[in-house]
Amino acid sequence: MQQEEKAALLAQCQAQYAAFQAEQLKLDMSRGKPSPKQLDLTNGIIDVLSEEDYLAENGLDCRNYGCLDGLPEAKRFFAPMLGVDPEELIVCGNSSLNMMYWAMSLAMTNGVLGEKPWWKYDRVKVLCPVPGYDRHFAISEFLGMELVSVPMHENSPDMDLVEQLVREDDTIKAIWCVPMYSNPSGVVYSDEVVKRFAALQPKAKDFRIFWDNAYCVHHLTDHPPVQANLLEEAKKVGNENICYMFASTSKITHPGSGVAMLAASEENIHSLKKALSFSTIGYDKINQLRHLRFFGGKFENLTEHMKKHKDLIVPKFQIVLDTLEEGLGDLGIATWSKPQGGYFVSFNQKGYAKRIVQLCKEAGVVLTESGASFPYGIDPEDQNIRISPTYPTEEELQKAMHVFVCCAKLAALDA
Amino acid sequence: MQQEEKAALLAQCQAQYAAFQAEQLKLDMSRGKPSPKQLDLTNGIIDVLSEEDYLAENGLDCRNYGCLDGLPEAKRFFAPMLGVDPEELIVCGNSSLNMMYWAMSLAMTNGVLGEKPWWKYDRVKVLCPVPGYDRHFAISEFLGMELVSVPMHENSPDMDLVEQLVREDDTIKAIWCVPMYSNPSGVVYSDEVVKRFAALQPKAKDFRIFWDNAYCVHHLTDHPPVQANLLEEAKKVGNENICYMFASTSKITHPGSGVAMLAASEENIHSLKKALSFSTIGYDKINQLRHLRFFGGKFENLTEHMKKHKDLIVPKFQIVLDTLEEGLGDLGIATWSKPQGGYFVSFNQKGYAKRIVQLCKEAGVVLTESGASFPYGIDPEDQNIRISPTYPTEEELQKAMHVFVCCAKLAALDA
């Protein structure tokens, strides 16, 4: 670009930015939250139970204490979501994050499957595919673990590196994975990658894959990918104790009052249930019943329900992608993901992420903190921004993306 | 008692016992569970919300993520239960046990108020007033703490001993207390005792009182005792960070789908909320709304509701006390509590607890395991049995208590 051309574009962007600032916008694209319209899809769950409807199929009174690992019919209902058998599942309360925290904290205090507690080791490390989910990394850091970055490639984390690190370093006790529509890059791990995870031979016998399948039914296309199942593959190679798998209905029904689940090998589940019995007598079974009734106990009704979410979300992703393409497509200064599912668009513009987020903020558009997707909040290339299109209305989102594109150009031009 | 008289009584008891066995009873007095009739009192909560009723007073959408420490109006509503200010309260999910586990596990992994993690000490001890609540002791044991028994007296744990131990031994990091209608002995700590707890000067700066006020509104009399408030007393002596207080609606509304709460000084709450943010985005706010709507947002409606529980429970406690008095009152072989609230009658017959529980079991009456109320499950005098009268019907309970009295006599006579 010629100097003059650049100066003219800069002046144009600055004028546009000033105009945005004058509008005193208040737009939020910071978190992957469903919009109110998405939540409306599930309002029927709030009053789906009559006051006489509190018995489980086996006659258990769901109002009372007990049933540590969830209603049998809830286990049957949710098992297909993680592709496991009902006896490989614990159906929990409203937060899968809470189960991940618990499982990792438990490994720290009590170890896994009879191995010694992680805190008895001088160092405990966790592999963090980057960019990744800030709350995952935060759990491990809070519990005193060292965060080790592993780069994400197109179909997975760098598997050669993962295999090498866990084979050689017995202080590495875990890895965080979002295998489908990963947060934020939207990567779908290929079957080959799932199989390599299943076959990992870690030096640490008490190593665990924390497999957060948060977006396993959150497709944006009509013909979603079908992914190999980690636990199934791990069983095939006699390695079934290597993983804990998590999911929830947070972005299916209502995030505040959904149902979370934890799946693992029967041996892991047996051990986890024993540990769980020290921390609760049981989760909210009435709310499990609500989910069963709302979906008529049929998993295909849940997948149908997800299509209604898709119909509301797809136009928003389209706004993000179209606006980025229109505004930045020709400039060659940035790249972004075109996800087939999940909740995010991952945007990369080397050296300018912090600046763009700051400029957006000063124009009233809140994005996830730059660096949030990296261990210790440090993006070494200062390049990644996580865009969450779902919460704002289409109008708000369109406005916010215009601001975003303007800021992205401004950052590059005004450097 | 003469040998002959004794032999005759023994023969009579044996005959009676054989008759009970022939009935093939299946009665359960093992846990402090509300009966179905008690649960019926709260059925209206299941469908109290319409599907449009999901907004908090401040307009917050309770269906979505967020609001880590509970709805503001839920904090205001539940604050009187623990006698604290709303800002000293976190309103949680369905399990106060879960919050106790979390708070203690957190102290192990991350310490309290910036002090070093408990696991970094070679030894970590917890004081356990005995007899006490098995699940409390189990949490501490599971987390690797040493359990130190402290005897319960009429109005409290042995406070001289408690004061001495915490003053002298900095490996003592906590004590478990059920200050009102303690589990199982029904003791109500006197105001003087509450004040002594509030004024404790532990050698360990990171010592915490785990104050489980599980039965704070669970009275069996029309004129219940009013107890000094621990946090208030602790504030008076500049010691407000010494305690965590817990309660729940488990035995007020529905145990499986109630609301738990954690109260502490503002400084503790600030620190706990920060830690909590790593393990959840928020608890089930829709269920908090249900509780607010069911009680019309008025705490006096909750205390009125508790009178309905009382009306169902008091006759059951009367059956237990009458049957014990009638069958054992003259014999001088046993003593038992006459609680003014809570869920248990504590029965003592030195040297025979195990035998009585076993005899009952073989006659189809399940009691809490003998020894359960003691650290490591060991009752040094083999004397204490926890009787839980609430769950069975009055008819079942009457039958079970006849069996119990028969077994108590049999154990003593057949020794």
Contacts of B42 in chain A (CB under 8 A): 63
Q: Closest partner residue to A283 among B61, B65, B94, by Cβ?
A: B94
Please compute the mean of the pLDDT values over residues B53-57 and round it to a whole number: 98
Q: Closest partner residue to A47 among B50, B66, B281, by Cβ?
A: B50
Q: For residue A293, what pLDDT is reported?
A: 98
Contacts for A138 with CB less than 8 Å, ≥ 6 apart: B278
Q: Is the pLDDT of residue A370 over 90?
A: yes
Q: For residue B381, what pLDDT is reported?
A: 97
Q: Is the pLDDT of residue B224 over 90?
A: yes
pLDDT digits (tens, 9 = 90+) for A74-110: 999 999 999 999 999 999 999 999 999 999 999 999 9
φ/ψ region of B37 (left if φ > 0, alpha if ψ in -120 to 50, else beta) reads: alpha
Selected for mutation to probe chain A from B35, B46, B106 (highest A CB count within 10 Å) is B46
Q: What is the ipTM of this complex?
A: 0.97
φ/ψ region of B371 (left if φ > 0, alpha if ψ in -120 to 50, else beta) reads: left
Q: Is the pLDDT of residue A146 over 90?
A: yes
**Does residue A43 sit at the B interface (CB-CB below 8 Å)?**
yes
pLDDT digits (tens, 9 = 90+) for A5-52: 899 999 999 999 999 999 999 999 988 999 999 999 999 999 999 999
Inter-chain Cβ pairs, chain A and chain B, closer than 8 A: 173
Q: Taking CB atoms and an 8 Å limit, are A284 and B284 in contact across chains?
A: yes
Q: Is the pLDDT of residue B338 over 80?
A: yes
Q: Is A61 helix (H, G, I), strand (E, B) or coil?
A: strand
Give chain A's end-to-end CA distance (angstroms, integer).
14
Phi and psi at B138, nearest 5°, equal: -65, -40
Q: State how far residue A110 is from chain B, nearest Cα, in angstroms.
A: 7
Q: For residue A321, what pLDDT is reported?
A: 98
Contacts of B259 in chain A (CB under 8 A): none
Token reading at B325:
């008095």
Q: Is A209 helix (H, G, I), strand (E, B) or coil?
A: strand
Q: For residue B197, what pLDDT is reported?
A: 98
Q: Tell me if A406 sits within 8 A of A16, measured CB to CB.
A: yes
Q: For residue B251, what pLDDT is reported?
A: 98
Q: Is the pLDDT of residue A200 over 90?
A: yes
Q: Tell me if A40 sits within 8 A of A25, measured CB to CB.
A: no
Using alpha carbons, select from A106, A104, A73, A105 the residue that is nearest to residue A91. A73
Q: For residue B2, what pLDDT is reported?
A: 84
Q: Of the ranges A158-162, B26-30, B406-410, which one carries the lowest mean pLDDT score?
A: B26-30
Q: For residue A136, what pLDDT is reported?
A: 98
Q: Tell me if A379 sits within 8 A of A254, measured CB to CB.
A: no
Q: Taking CB atoms and an 8 Å limit, are B49 and A47 in contact across chains?
A: yes
Pairing of strands B345-348, B384-387: antiparallel
Token reading at A297:
């106990």
Token reading at A276:
């769980």
Q: For residue A330, what pLDDT is reported?
A: 93
Give chain B's end-to-end CA distance (angstroms, integer).
14
A122-126's contacts with Cβ under 8 Å and 24+ in sequence apart are A122/A171, A123/A171, A124/A171, A124/A173, A125/A169, A125/A171, A125/A172, A125/A173, A126/A172, A126/A173, A126/A174, A126/A175, A126/A176
Token reading at A405:
């594109």
Q: For residue A415, what pLDDT is reported?
A: 74
Q: State how far residue B313 is from chain A, nearest Cα, in angstroms.
A: 16
pLDDT digits (tens, 9 = 90+) for B30-53: 889 999 999 999 999 999 999 999
Q: Closest partner residue to A139 among B33, B61, B278, by Cβ?
A: B278
Contacts of B95 in chain A (CB under 8 A): 279-282
Token reading at B43:
């059925």
Q: Closest partner residue to A110 among B142, B257, B281, by Cβ?
A: B142
Using alpha carbons, select from A410, A317, A316, A329 the residue that is nearest to residue A363. A410
Q: Taking CB atoms and an 8 Å limit, are A256 and B110 in contact across chains?
A: no
Q: Tell me if A6 sits within 8 A of A415, measured CB to CB.
A: no
Report the 3 state secondary structure along chain B. CCHHHHHHHHHHHHHHHHHHHHCCCCEEECCCCCCHHHHHCCHHHCCCCCCCCCECCCCCECCCCCCCCCCHHHHHHHHHHHCCCHHHEEECCCCHHHHHHHHHHHHHHHCCCCCCCHHHCCCCEEEEEECCCHHHHHHHHHCCCEEEEEEECCCCECHHHHHHHHHHCCCEEEEEECCCCCCCCCCCCCHHHHHHHHCCCCCCCCCEEEEECCCCCCECCCCCCCCCCHHHHHHHCCCHHHEEEEEECCCCCCHHHCCEEEECCHHHHHHHHHHHCCCCCCCCHHHHHHHHHHCCCCHHHHHHHHHHHHHHHHHHHHHHHHHHHHHHCCCCCCEECCCCECCCEEEECCCCHHHHHHHHHHCCEEECCCCCCCHHHCCCCCCEEEECCCCCCHHHHHHHHHHHHHHHHHHHHCC
Q: For residue A237, what pLDDT is reported?
A: 98
State the average pLDDT for chain A: 97
State how far the Cα of B170 lies from the Cα of B66, in Å rounded to an integer: 39
**Does residue A102 sit at the B interface (CB-CB below 8 Å)?**
yes
pLDDT digits (tens, 9 = 90+) for B123-143: 999 999 999 999 999 999 999
The neighbouring-strand residues paired with A128 are A149
Share of chain B above pLDDT 70, in %: 100
Pairing of strands B125-130, B146-151: parallel
Residue reference for tokens 């621990």: B230
Share of chain A above pLDDT 70, in %: 100
Q: Tell me if A334 sits within 8 A of A411, measured CB to CB.
A: no
Q: For residue B317, what pLDDT is reported?
A: 98
pLDDT digits (tens, 9 = 90+) for B256-299: 999 999 999 999 999 999 999 999 999 999 999 999 999 999 99
Q: For residue B31, what pLDDT is reported?
A: 86
pLDDT digits (tens, 9 = 90+) for A383-409: 999 999 999 999 999 999 999 999 999
Burial of A53 (0-12, 13-18, 19+ CB in 10 A): middle
Q: Closest partner residue to B284 among A63, A105, A256, by Cβ?
A: A256
Q: Which amino acid is at A42?
A: T
Q: For residue B414, what pLDDT is reported?
A: 85
Selected for mutation to probe chain B from A145, A183, A279, A283 (highest B CB count within 10 Å) is A279
Sheet containing A335-336, strands listed edge to edge, beginning at the edge strand earlier in sequence:
A335-336, A345-348, A384-387
Inter-CA distances, A225 with A30, A180, A298, A315, B176, Å: 27, 9, 21, 20, 52
State how far the Cα of A353 lies from the Cα of A385, in Å rounded to an integer: 6
State how far the Cα of A304 lies from the Cα of B2, in Å rounded to an integer: 80
Burial of A59 (0-12, 13-18, 19+ CB in 10 A): exposed
Q: Is A346 helix (H, G, I), strand (E, B) or coil?
A: strand
C-beta neighbour count of A381 within 10 angstroms: 12
Q: For residue B415, what pLDDT is reported?
A: 74
A residues 138..167 contacting B (CB < 8 A): 138-139, 142-144
Please compute the mean of the pLDDT values over residues A359-371 and round it to a whole number: 96
State how far the Cα of A148 lies from the Cα of A187, in Å rounded to an integer: 20
Please compute the mean of the pLDDT values over residues B179-198 and round it to a whole number: 97
**Does residue B62 sit at the A interface (CB-CB below 8 Å)?**
yes
Q: For residue A3, what pLDDT is reported?
A: 87
Using alpha carbons, select from B130, B217, B128, B63 the residue that is nearest to residue A35. B63
Contacts of B53 in chain A (CB under 8 A): 46
**Does residue B113 sit at the A interface (CB-CB below 8 Å)?**
no
Residue reference for tokens 């992957």: A32
Q: Closest partner residue to A286 among B33, B108, B257, by Cβ?
A: B257
Q: State how far residue A105 is from chain B, nearest Cα, in angstroms.
A: 8
Q: Taking CB atoms and an 8 Å limit, are B286 and A53 in contact across chains?
A: no
B residues 243..282 contacting A (CB < 8 A): 250, 254-257, 275, 278-282
Q: Which amino acid is at B82?
A: L
Handedness of CA B304, B308, B314, B315 (dihedral sign): positive
User: What is the distance, to the nearest Å, from the Cα of residue A127 to the centroid of all Cα atoms in its chain?
Assistant: 16
Phi and psi at A260, nearest 5°, equal: -105, 160
Beta strands per DSSP E along A68-200: 89-91, 125-130, 146-151, 172-177
Q: State how far residue A236 is from chain B, nearest Cα, in angstroms.
A: 33
Pairing of strands A365-367, A27-29: parallel
Please compute the mean of the pLDDT values over residues B386-400 and round it to a whole number: 97
Using alpha carbons, select from A266, A212, A276 the residue that is nearest to residue A240. A266
Q: Closest partner residue to B33 among A64, A255, A279, by Cβ?
A: A64
Q: Is the pLDDT of residue B1 over 80?
A: no
Q: For residue A31, what pLDDT is reported?
A: 86
Q: Is the pLDDT of residue B121 over 80?
A: yes
DSSP secondary structure, A274-302, as one string: HHHTTT-S---HHHHHHHHHHTTT-HHHH
Contacts of A44 in chain B (CB under 8 A): 51
Q: Taking CB atoms and an 8 Å limit, are A63 and B39 in contact across chains?
A: yes
Q: For residue A273, what pLDDT is reported?
A: 98
Q: Is the pLDDT of residue B120 over 80?
A: yes
